[in-house]
Structure 1
């Protein structure tokens, strides 16, 4: 893996990450004169933020530290600055941390911007400092309130529901429960402390949200909502405690936005096309979705729970998504909103590994008789009644596999064939 993955820089916390933070601060500080800085609730975040802010100031930048807030809140505030830096590892486990890089429009740094940072981090040259050119560090009050007011300006109607919110011990703790209360709902808040030790794995998957599902059922709530560590993701549970897949949530939000063009990633379900949208597929990563939304599309997102609403920001905003969903469910139960969306069998998994010989994998997979293939991100094979995607992870040293088909038996066959071929190719490369 290179310095940048699919969502900024991310790695297990160690002395190398601290060194990277120092060099990143110098690199960003010499290019962007006004930088807004924030972080999530991880135990290592304050230390990394201090390293970043010190290097930014030494490079001549003025820094505004807005404290512990979600990434979408930082993205909203960043519109008045030259750049935003978020110290977070998003949905990765607590031992990870990293840095997200945001432009004023909420989009992630482009490939060219990333390459500039990478060149500086990998350079052995020391930065040139001048005692009389240091910047300043200041606070910026009421950032959460400003973000809430921005969201409420789009969604002023009262939504008198009972909602369970699982903040996951992350940055959503400081905003989502309060926002939904402001919208008129009764909120049951779970895991809303921010001591850095997550009560369950921070990736908002169904298997990690048993507490949310149980509470929704026991409290007779209308809706359940969960976030990841930095709250750029949002997933939902209906009133019966059923976890709603990200593919179905993608359709729900796209229909609500009256979108004619939907931007999503290669791993989203084939059911999205079947719902009548013109679908533009990108490589995996919300940065690719946001970049494409600059050119076309009314709504975009990833089935992992990252939703991008261009009218608000090009940063995935789990807070805004929670409010939008609340507004929709106040008029029609979530189970009804998804009732006409087809659901196919999908299986996801991974194997340990880094490099991947795509030509070798593609050759090995010809036994599946693909109709077509794409090398946009790893390799995706389009099959008669499904598809298979094999790609290196952009956040961990793993190779990910995803298969979808019309029936569970077909899906399992595709997945197991892909897994067998992948392991064979990896063993041949050793």
Structure 2
């Protein structure tokens, strides 16, 4: 079964049986549910939704289904066509729309697609709202429009220009400083829409772009998650082309990985760290990430006399805490930059602009910049339990076991030791506890994970 219904939307593999995969009927049902939910919660007759898609092979088909369904409900559609997640998010308030749908399965392989749901602010809908949409989808209580009331359809081809101009207008993006450096930037856009948007931005910043996999065909040349094991080609390209910095984005361009001039990974956790270092140097305030993100962000925030807070895992949770703390910068350790002066969504384009500004002003190479940050290593393990074991009870016992340490129960159980940490989260679908660790060496991080697994087994 490859259909996953969650509070943030629906995703699945294309084809197969209805209710088991993301079939045309499932797309229509969930587009109907979201459109109906908006109609039920808006005190206005004419609703408008913004839609955009990444370059997945199934994208045009899914887009056609979503568009026709919304029009069938009497909702107007503005179609951005090939776009990015942050661009759709920007365009919802820009066009005073009532919401948006992004058609992307983010870093999932090409057989996947998804409907990601946005409110009128261009932000992901809340968990409570998502649950209401899912309930509507189950009930199929839809009322489609009669022929004279069908929604209107229009396209826009200026969304990237608008998004990029908003970035260039940000006071913390120093276009002239970047131009003066004449950076040579290698880009791996995994044959999706980053191959359109990022070169447009780099051109405005006076950078030379060396393109790798920038044709938006949807045929991903490697696993689209921007992790070290998938990025051998661009690491080699960095060395052969003597590039200054490498930029890697996922298919919908909300995750940003960086590569140094030696062809070495900057570290996906350190994208946010570097951008926060630059911003907090100029403006005191809070930095936010989730509980499974690197401690390096906390260290950098403290070095600038700023505060650090951690939210539950999930972009919606990060954004909620950022608003509560009026944060200067936030995001997730997977390379997701959220800069509230632009919008409350992960955005690789603004991440590139802020990072290049930082690099230009520091007058260092990328590797020199990275060497100035605290060095941490992460481990990821899991322990599979039998179905009859109460996972919540196990987590509660672990909380008690380490009550003399700094323990958070905001999302599972996170135990902060003096020199390392462990975060335990239960799976919502299986009797599994996921174990994330971080320490000053890979060996230490892995050993901590093994020690915690042994402790859990002793409590069963």
* CA contact 1:245–1:303 (8 Å) conserved in 2: no
Partner of 2:14: 13
Partner of 1:220: 242
Is 1:102 the counterpart of 2:131 in the alignment? Answer: no
Tell me the distance in 1 between the aligned counterparts of 2:386 and 2:313. Answer: 16
> CA separation of 1:398/1:244 partners in 2, compared to 1, >3 Å: closer, same or farther?
farther
* Structure 1 SS opposite 2:5: coil
Deviations 1:293-335 (A, max 9, x none): 2222111011100100101111111111112222222332222
Is 1:91 the counterpart of 2:112 in the alignment? Answer: no
Q: How far did 1:28 drift?
A: 2.7
Q: How many residue pairs get matched?
A: 425
* CA contact 2:272–2:336 (8 Å) conserved in 1: no
Question: Out of 406, 417, 425, which is 1:391 matched to?
Answer: 425
Question: Out of 43, 63, 68, which is 1:54 matched to?
Answer: 68
Within-5 A mapping of 1:113-192:
113-154=129-170, 155=173, 156-157=175-176, 158=179, 159-192=181-214
> CA separation of 1:251/1:423 partners in 2, compared to 1, >3 Å: closer, same or farther?
same
Deviations 1:169-213 (A, max 9, x none): 122011102220221111101111222221111111111111111
Is 1:299 the counterpart of 2:313 in the alignment? Answer: no
Tell me the distance in 2 between the aligned counterparts of 1:151 and 1:396. Answer: 42
Deviations 1:336-380 (A, max 9, x none): 333331112321245789987222244368777871433322332
Q: How far did 1:420 drift?
A: 5.3
Question: Out of 53, 62, 81, which is 1:39 matched to?
Answer: 53
Q: With structure 2 as the length reference, what TM-score do the two structures score?
A: 0.84
Tell me the distance in 2 between the aligned counterparts of 1:198 and 1:4. Answer: 25
> CA separation of 1:233/1:407 partners in 2, compared to 1, >3 Å: closer, same or farther?
closer
> CA separation of 1:136/1:203 partners in 2, compared to 1, >3 Å: closer, same or farther?
same
Structure 1 stretches of 5 or more lacking a match? none
* CA contact 1:160–1:330 (8 Å) conserved in 2: no
Partner of 1:68: 82
> CA separation of 1:394/1:75 partners in 2, compared to 1, >3 Å: closer, same or farther?
farther
Partner of 1:195: 217
Q: How far did 1:140 drift?
A: 1.4
> CA separation of 1:251/1:90 partners in 2, compared to 1, >3 Å: closer, same or farther?
same
* Structure 2 SS opposite 1:294: helix
Question: Out of 282, 287, 290, which is 1:262 matched to?
Answer: 287
> CA separation of 1:68/1:217 partners in 2, compared to 1, >3 Å: closer, same or farther?
same
Q: Which has the higher contact order (CA 8 A, sep 6+)?
A: 1
Is 1:334 the counterpart of 2:366 in the alignment? Answer: yes
Partner of 1:274: 299
Q: How far did 1:101 drift?
A: 1.5
Structure 2 stretches of 5 or more lacking a match? 40-46
> CA separation of 1:286/1:59 partners in 2, compared to 1, >3 Å: closer, same or farther?
same
Q: With structure 1 as the length reference, what TM-score do the two structures score?
A: 0.90
Deviates further, 206-215 or 416-425: 416-425
Q: How far did 1:402 drift?
A: 1.1
